[in-house]
Protein backbone atom coordinates (compact mmCIF):
# COMPACT_ATOMS: atom_id res chain seq x y z
CA UNK A 1 0.00 0.00 0.00
CA UNK A 2 3.03 2.27 0.09
CA UNK A 3 3.29 5.24 -2.27
CA UNK A 4 5.76 8.08 -2.66
CA UNK A 5 4.48 11.66 -2.76
CA UNK A 6 6.84 14.63 -3.03
CA UNK A 7 9.71 12.34 -2.08
CA UNK A 8 7.93 11.15 1.09
CA UNK A 9 7.10 7.48 1.56
CA UNK A 10 3.53 7.06 2.80
CA UNK A 11 2.19 3.85 4.37
CA UNK A 12 -0.86 4.19 2.11
CA UNK A 13 -2.24 6.81 -0.30
CA UNK A 14 -4.95 8.16 2.02
CA UNK A 15 -4.39 11.66 3.44
CA UNK A 16 -6.71 13.69 5.66
CA UNK A 17 -7.29 17.02 3.91
CA UNK A 18 -6.60 20.46 5.34
CA UNK A 19 -9.44 22.30 7.02
CA UNK A 20 -11.35 19.12 7.82
CA UNK A 21 -8.99 17.44 10.29
CA UNK A 22 -8.14 20.27 12.66
CA UNK A 23 -4.51 20.12 13.73
CA UNK A 24 -4.66 16.33 13.77
CA UNK A 25 -4.50 16.03 17.52
CA UNK A 26 -8.28 16.55 17.81
CA UNK A 27 -8.84 13.21 16.05
CA UNK A 28 -6.35 11.10 18.01
CA UNK A 29 -9.02 9.43 20.15
CA UNK A 30 -11.02 8.40 17.08
CA UNK A 31 -8.39 7.76 14.40
CA UNK A 32 -5.01 6.07 14.60
CA UNK A 33 -2.97 8.86 13.02
CA UNK A 34 -0.12 6.46 12.29
CA UNK A 35 -2.36 4.28 10.11
CA UNK A 36 -3.03 7.12 7.67
CA UNK A 37 -0.74 7.92 4.80
CA UNK A 38 -0.54 11.45 6.21
CA UNK A 39 -2.73 14.28 7.39
CA UNK A 40 -2.70 17.96 6.49
CA UNK A 41 -3.22 20.51 9.25
CA UNK A 42 -5.62 23.40 8.88
CA UNK A 43 -4.02 26.47 7.32
CA UNK A 44 -1.38 28.18 9.42
CA UNK A 45 -0.65 31.91 9.15
CA UNK A 46 1.94 34.21 10.72
CA UNK A 47 -0.53 35.62 13.23
CA UNK A 48 -3.67 34.08 14.80
CA UNK A 49 -6.92 34.59 12.87
CA UNK A 50 -10.48 34.55 14.21
CA UNK A 51 -12.17 33.62 10.95
CA UNK A 52 -15.59 34.71 9.69
CA UNK A 53 -18.77 35.17 11.73
CA UNK A 54 -21.39 32.41 11.81
CA UNK A 55 -23.17 31.03 9.93
CA UNK A 56 -20.09 29.91 8.03
CA UNK A 57 -20.87 26.26 7.31
CA UNK A 58 -24.00 24.90 5.63
CA UNK A 59 -25.08 21.69 3.97
CA UNK A 60 -25.97 21.67 0.28
CA UNK A 61 -27.22 19.01 -2.10
CA UNK A 62 -24.48 16.34 -2.14
CA UNK A 63 -22.01 18.71 -0.57
CA UNK A 64 -21.13 21.46 1.84
CA UNK A 65 -20.46 25.20 1.67
CA UNK A 66 -17.91 26.68 4.04
CA UNK A 67 -16.62 30.16 4.70
CA UNK A 68 -14.61 29.51 7.85
CA UNK A 69 -12.18 32.28 7.01
CA UNK A 70 -8.96 30.34 7.69
CA UNK A 71 -9.31 30.56 11.46
CA UNK A 72 -6.13 29.34 13.15
CA UNK A 73 -3.88 29.82 16.18
CA UNK A 74 -0.92 31.26 14.27
CA UNK A 75 2.47 29.70 13.64
CA UNK A 76 3.99 30.30 17.10
CA UNK A 77 1.10 28.73 19.01
CA UNK A 78 0.93 25.92 16.47
CA UNK A 79 4.55 24.97 17.09
CA UNK A 80 4.33 25.37 20.86
CA UNK A 81 1.08 23.48 21.46
CA UNK A 82 -0.29 21.57 18.47
CA UNK A 83 2.95 20.29 16.98
CA UNK A 84 4.37 19.45 20.40
CA UNK A 85 1.29 17.37 21.22
CA UNK A 86 1.80 15.32 18.03
CA UNK A 87 5.22 14.12 19.17
CA UNK A 88 3.57 11.08 20.76
CA UNK A 89 2.87 9.87 17.20
CA UNK A 90 6.40 9.74 15.75
CA UNK A 91 5.36 7.69 12.71
CA UNK A 92 2.54 10.04 11.71
CA UNK A 93 3.30 12.07 8.59
CA UNK A 94 2.36 15.69 9.33
CA UNK A 95 1.92 18.04 6.37
CA UNK A 96 1.42 21.68 7.36
CA UNK A 97 -0.88 23.79 5.22
CA UNK A 98 0.37 27.38 4.91
CA UNK A 99 -1.29 30.57 3.73
CA UNK A 100 -0.74 34.31 3.65
CA UNK A 101 -1.85 37.52 1.99
CA UNK A 102 1.63 38.52 0.79
CA UNK A 103 4.65 36.53 -0.31
CA UNK A 104 6.39 37.71 2.84
CA UNK A 105 3.61 36.12 4.91
CA UNK A 106 4.19 32.73 3.32
CA UNK A 107 7.96 33.00 3.58
CA UNK A 108 7.73 34.05 7.22
CA UNK A 109 5.62 31.01 8.15
CA UNK A 110 7.92 28.59 6.33
CA UNK A 111 11.06 30.13 7.85
CA UNK A 112 9.58 29.64 11.32
CA UNK A 113 8.41 26.08 10.60
CA UNK A 114 11.83 25.20 9.20
CA UNK A 115 13.09 25.42 12.76
CA UNK A 116 10.50 22.97 14.11
CA UNK A 117 10.61 19.17 14.20
CA UNK A 118 7.99 16.61 13.30
CA UNK A 119 6.91 18.01 9.92
CA UNK A 120 7.07 15.91 6.75
CA UNK A 121 6.16 18.56 4.16
CA UNK A 122 4.45 21.88 3.51
CA UNK A 123 1.25 22.38 1.52
CA UNK A 124 0.93 25.86 0.06
CA UNK A 125 -2.63 27.18 -0.09
CA UNK A 126 -2.57 29.55 -3.07
CA UNK A 127 -6.29 30.35 -3.02
CA UNK A 128 -5.75 33.38 -0.77
CA UNK A 129 -6.08 36.94 -2.17
CA UNK A 130 -2.74 38.62 -2.86
CA UNK A 131 -3.16 42.07 -1.33
CA UNK A 132 -0.30 43.37 -3.49
CA UNK A 133 -2.06 42.27 -6.67
CA UNK A 134 -5.47 43.84 -6.29
CA UNK A 135 -6.89 40.96 -4.28
CA UNK A 136 -6.52 38.34 -7.03
CA UNK A 137 -5.75 34.91 -5.58
CA UNK A 138 -2.15 33.75 -6.03
CA UNK A 139 -3.41 30.58 -7.69
CA UNK A 140 -5.40 32.53 -10.29
CA UNK A 141 -2.51 34.65 -11.59
CA UNK A 142 0.34 32.96 -13.45
CA UNK A 143 2.98 35.51 -12.50
CA UNK A 144 2.04 35.67 -8.83
CA UNK A 145 1.91 31.87 -8.56
CA UNK A 146 5.30 31.38 -10.17
CA UNK A 147 6.93 34.00 -7.95
CA UNK A 148 5.36 32.69 -4.76
CA UNK A 149 6.25 29.04 -5.37
CA UNK A 150 9.79 29.96 -6.38
CA UNK A 151 10.35 32.12 -3.31
CA UNK A 152 8.98 29.54 -0.87
CA UNK A 153 10.82 26.63 -2.52
CA UNK A 154 14.09 28.55 -2.28
CA UNK A 155 13.90 28.77 1.51
CA UNK A 156 11.98 25.57 2.32
CA UNK A 157 13.85 22.80 4.10
CA UNK A 158 11.07 20.33 3.37
CA UNK A 159 9.18 19.09 0.28
CA UNK A 160 6.70 21.58 -1.10
CA UNK A 161 3.19 20.66 -2.24
CA UNK A 162 1.03 23.34 -3.85
CA UNK A 163 -2.75 23.11 -3.35
CA UNK A 164 -4.38 24.46 -6.48
CA UNK A 165 -7.64 26.33 -6.86
CA UNK A 166 -10.14 24.99 -9.43
CA UNK A 167 -11.42 28.52 -10.03
CA UNK A 168 -9.14 29.06 -13.02
CA UNK A 169 -9.32 28.67 -16.79
CA UNK A 170 -6.72 25.87 -16.91
CA UNK A 171 -5.65 24.11 -13.73
CA UNK A 172 -3.18 22.03 -15.76
CA UNK A 173 -1.38 25.23 -16.77
CA UNK A 174 -1.18 26.32 -13.13
CA UNK A 175 0.27 22.95 -12.21
CA UNK A 176 2.92 23.33 -14.91
CA UNK A 177 3.86 26.72 -13.46
CA UNK A 178 4.26 25.13 -10.02
CA UNK A 179 6.37 22.33 -11.43
CA UNK A 180 8.65 24.75 -13.30
CA UNK A 181 9.00 26.87 -10.15
CA UNK A 182 10.25 23.87 -8.17
CA UNK A 183 7.17 22.37 -6.49
CA UNK A 184 7.61 18.73 -5.47
CA UNK A 185 3.90 17.89 -5.92
CA UNK A 186 0.50 19.48 -6.36
CA UNK A 187 -2.81 18.75 -4.64
CA UNK A 188 -6.10 19.41 -6.39
CA UNK A 189 -8.71 20.53 -6.17
CA UNK A 190 -9.49 23.09 -3.52
CA UNK A 191 -13.13 24.16 -3.14
CA UNK A 192 -15.25 25.78 -5.84
CA UNK A 193 -16.58 29.28 -5.19
CA UNK A 194 -20.33 29.03 -4.67
CA UNK A 195 -23.27 30.44 -2.73
CA UNK A 196 -26.68 29.59 -1.29
CA UNK A 197 -29.72 31.83 -0.70
CA UNK A 198 -32.54 31.52 1.81
CA UNK A 199 -35.62 32.35 -0.27
CA UNK A 200 -37.75 33.08 2.81
CA UNK A 201 -35.44 35.80 4.13
CA UNK A 202 -34.00 36.62 0.69
CA UNK A 203 -30.57 36.66 2.26
CA UNK A 204 -27.39 34.63 1.67
CA UNK A 205 -27.17 31.64 3.99
CA UNK A 206 -23.51 32.40 4.68
CA UNK A 207 -22.51 35.58 6.47
CA UNK A 208 -19.62 35.82 4.01
CA UNK A 209 -22.18 35.58 1.14
CA UNK A 210 -20.03 33.13 -0.84
CA UNK A 211 -18.07 30.10 0.28
CA UNK A 212 -16.23 27.04 -0.93
CA UNK A 213 -18.21 24.08 -2.25
CA UNK A 214 -16.89 20.61 -1.43
CA UNK A 215 -18.21 17.06 -1.18
CA UNK A 216 -19.55 14.50 -3.69
CA UNK A 217 -21.13 17.27 -5.81
CA UNK A 218 -17.69 18.33 -7.08
CA UNK A 219 -16.17 14.88 -7.59
CA UNK A 220 -16.71 14.50 -11.37
CA UNK A 221 -15.18 17.93 -12.02
CA UNK A 222 -12.27 17.32 -9.66
CA UNK A 223 -11.63 13.95 -11.29
CA UNK A 224 -11.49 15.55 -14.73
CA UNK A 225 -9.05 18.17 -13.48
CA UNK A 226 -6.76 15.51 -12.00
CA UNK A 227 -6.87 13.63 -15.30
CA UNK A 228 -5.90 16.72 -17.30
CA UNK A 229 -3.19 17.77 -14.85
CA UNK A 230 -1.61 14.32 -14.71
CA UNK A 231 -0.98 14.55 -18.45
CA UNK A 232 0.58 17.99 -18.15
CA UNK A 233 3.11 17.51 -15.33
CA UNK A 234 5.61 14.91 -14.15
CA UNK A 235 5.43 15.72 -10.44
CA UNK A 236 3.00 13.65 -8.35
CA UNK A 237 -0.58 14.67 -7.64
CA UNK A 238 -2.72 14.32 -4.53
CA UNK A 239 -6.29 14.23 -5.78
CA UNK A 240 -9.29 15.35 -3.76
CA UNK A 241 -12.91 16.30 -4.17
CA UNK A 242 -15.84 14.26 -2.88
CA UNK A 243 -13.96 11.07 -2.06
CA UNK A 244 -16.01 8.82 0.26
CA UNK A 245 -15.63 5.21 -0.87
CA UNK A 246 -12.62 3.07 -1.86
CA UNK A 247 -13.96 3.12 -5.41
CA UNK A 248 -13.85 6.93 -5.38
CA UNK A 249 -10.19 6.78 -4.39
CA UNK A 250 -9.43 4.25 -7.12
CA UNK A 251 -11.01 6.55 -9.71
CA UNK A 252 -8.65 9.37 -8.72
CA UNK A 253 -5.65 7.05 -8.82
CA UNK A 254 -6.59 5.75 -12.26
CA UNK A 255 -7.00 9.35 -13.46
CA UNK A 256 -3.41 10.09 -12.44
CA UNK A 257 -3.23 10.78 -8.71
CA UNK A 258 -0.49 9.22 -6.60
CA UNK A 259 -2.41 9.81 -3.37
CA UNK A 260 -5.85 11.05 -2.37
CA UNK A 261 -7.07 13.49 0.26
CA UNK A 262 -10.31 13.02 2.18
CA UNK A 263 -12.06 16.14 3.39
CA UNK A 264 -15.82 16.63 3.70
CA UNK A 265 -16.38 12.92 4.48
CA UNK A 266 -14.70 13.48 7.86
CA UNK A 267 -17.56 15.76 8.92
CA UNK A 268 -20.10 12.95 8.51
CA UNK A 269 -17.76 10.26 9.84
CA UNK A 270 -14.68 11.31 11.88
CA UNK A 271 -13.17 7.89 11.11
CA UNK A 272 -13.65 8.27 7.35
CA UNK A 273 -9.92 8.47 6.59
CA UNK A 274 -9.00 5.32 8.51
CA UNK A 275 -12.04 3.50 7.13
CA UNK A 276 -11.07 4.48 3.59
CA UNK A 277 -7.45 3.35 4.05
CA UNK A 278 -8.64 -0.08 5.19
CA UNK A 279 -11.28 -0.21 2.49
CA UNK A 280 -8.80 0.63 -0.24
CA UNK A 281 -6.50 -2.15 0.93
CA UNK A 282 -9.41 -4.60 0.84
CA UNK A 283 -10.40 -3.39 -2.64
CA UNK A 284 -6.87 -3.98 -3.92
CA UNK A 285 -6.79 -7.45 -2.37
CA UNK A 286 -10.17 -8.31 -3.86
CA UNK A 287 -9.09 -7.10 -7.31
CA UNK A 288 -5.67 -8.78 -7.16
CA UNK A 289 -3.83 -5.47 -7.21
CA UNK A 290 -0.43 -6.21 -5.68
CA UNK A 291 0.72 -2.59 -5.53
CA UNK A 292 -1.65 0.33 -5.10
CA UNK A 293 0.94 2.51 -6.85
CA UNK A 294 0.30 0.52 -10.04
CA UNK A 295 -3.15 2.09 -10.26
CA UNK A 296 -1.77 5.60 -10.86
CA UNK A 297 -2.39 6.64 -14.47
CA UNK A 298 -3.66 3.15 -15.27
CA UNK A 299 -6.84 4.45 -16.91
CA UNK A 300 -7.55 2.59 -20.15
CA UNK A 301 -8.85 4.74 -22.98
CA UNK A 302 -10.65 2.71 -25.69
CA UNK A 303 -9.20 3.14 -29.14
CA UNK A 304 -11.56 4.57 -31.72
Q: Which residues are known catalytic residues?
A: 128
Close Cβ partners of 247 (under 8 Å, ≥ 6 residues apart): 283
Is the distance from CB of 248 to CB of 219 less than 8 angstroms? yes
Q: How many Å apart are CA 103 and CA 187, to the nearest integer? A: 20
Q: Is 212 helix (H, G, I), strand (E, B) or coil?
A: strand
Q: How many Å apart are CA 39 and CA 248, to the nearest integer? A: 18
Q: How many Å apart are CA 304 and CA 283, to the nearest integer? A: 30
Please write down the HEC assignment for all residues of 42-64.
Answer: CCECCCCECCCCCCCEEEECCEE
Q: Where are the alpha helices (DSSP H) in 202-271?
A: 219-230, 246-255, 265-268
Q: Please give the order of strands across the beta sheet that includes 210-214.
A: 57-60, 63-66, 210-214, 192-195
Other CB atoms within 10 Å distance of the CB of residue 3: 24
Q: How many Å apart are CA 75 and CA 64, to the nearest integer? A: 28
Strands 185-188 and 160-163: parallel
DSSP letter (8 states) at residue 73: -
Is the distance from CB of 261 to CB of 242 less than 8 angstroms? no
Amino acid sequence: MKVTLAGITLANPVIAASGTFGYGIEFDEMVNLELLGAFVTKGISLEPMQGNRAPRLIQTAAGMLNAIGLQNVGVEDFIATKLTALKKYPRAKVIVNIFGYTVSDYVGVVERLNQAEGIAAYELNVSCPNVHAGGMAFGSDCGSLEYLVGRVKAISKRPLIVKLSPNVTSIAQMAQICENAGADAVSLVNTFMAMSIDVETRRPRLTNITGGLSGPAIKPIALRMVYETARAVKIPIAGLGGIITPEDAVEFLLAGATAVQVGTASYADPRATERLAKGLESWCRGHHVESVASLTKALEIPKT
